[in-house]
Amino acid sequence: MISVAGLTKRYGPVTAVDDLTFEVAAGKVTGFLGPNGAGKSTTMRMVLGLDRPTAGTATVNGKRYAGLSAPLREVGALLDAGAMHPGRTGRAHLRIGARSNGIPLSRVDAVIEQAGLGSAARRRVKGYSLGMRQRLGIATALLGDPEVLLFDEPVNGLDLDGVRWIRALLRGFADEGRTVLVSSHLMSEMQLIADRVVIIGGGRLIADSDIGAVLHGLGGQRVLVRTPAADELHRALAERASVSRTAQDELEVTGLEAAEVGDLAHAAGVRLHHLAEVEESLEQAYLSLTEDSVDYHGAVPGQVREQVTEPVTERLADGPVR
């Protein structure tokens, strides 16, 4: 288990993490989500003892990371795939990690195979692609066969086969009862593998919940129904749920399951041409929850043109531009 309690980190006047409290339980994949600058990487660094908290605590199985006698045997982590000596081979990098933590060298061959490094393990790291660095970083995290795993953007640089591999790997570890914390900006991937999500913004906790509860928090179950008698069905459902007209023959119903809508339509003698529950997306829920916590907004091309042309127009009205 990973436990974060009242965790705070300040860099001068900037508060990167602000009184953050949550737990990452064993047997689940926990997605750690938030906009750029939210404090995710800083939090993970404090869990791993790389940054010292200004206040609060971050522990792994009840201990600070610095107090672990053989860290790689208890915690495996990948925060930065570029943090490797470029002149060493992948195999040498893994052997150093194994020897420094009392791990049998047989584990080196095992994780090379597990990560799909193959013959690339004999090449120097400086010749690796980003995807191969990611694989080597993941292999390093797995060296000690740890019970706790932390990954920051693990699919970054991986091809489709690599994405499918890491997805199955993380899901498999959680199913074995291990603790898995994954930071990612890919909401579609998180929706596929995460059991629980911790969402932060501006260094503060926004949500800490099972993924299903986060999705349903968008406003309840929604059902899309099409019928040639939309007005009649609207009247039949209005007392039991929130109903909105989305097209001439289509209604969106909030607060009832599809079976309930079907039963009410049948009781009212209304024919249905389509009836389906609307699947919510984690991306929608995430954007809704974090909309007030985004520090860096990009501009679409139209907005950029307006910003460029408006000041020029004002200057032309005052006189020639010199």
Please write the tens of the pLDDT for every residue from 215-251. 776 555 789 999 999 999 999 999 898 999 999 999 9
Domain ranges of the chain: 2-216, 222-277
Q: 211: which 2 tokens?
A: 């993924």
Q: What is the pLDDT of residues 44-70, one digit of tens each?
A: 999 999 999 999 999 999 999 999 888
CA distances from residue 226 to 144, 241, 242, 247, 284 in whole angstroms, order as listed: 56, 16, 16, 9, 24
When the pLDDT of each residue in the chain is averaged and rounded to a whole number, the result is 89
Does domain 222-277 fall under CATH 3.40.50.1580? My reply is no
Residue 194 is predicted with a pLDDT of 94
Query: How many CA atoms does the CB half-sphere of 164 hold within 13 Å?
Result: 3
Mean pLDDT of 282-311: 69
Residue 82 is predicted with a pLDDT of 83
Which CATH code of 3.10.50.30, 3.60.70.12, 3.40.50.300, 3.40.50.10490 fits the domain covering 2-216? 3.40.50.300
What pTM does this model have? 0.78
Q: What is the pLDDT of residues 155-185, one digit of tens each?
A: 988 999 999 999 999 999 999 999 999 999 8
Q: How confident is the model at residue 320 (pLDDT cuts 50, 70, 90)?
A: very low
- Gap between the Cα atoms of 27 and 247, Å rounded: 44
Residue 306 is predicted with a pLDDT of 57
**Cβ count near 165 (within 10 Å):** 18
Q: How confident is the model at residue 214 (pLDDT cuts 50, 70, 90)?
A: confident
- Class of residue 313 by CB neighbours under 10 A (exposed 0-12, middle 13-18, buried 19+): exposed
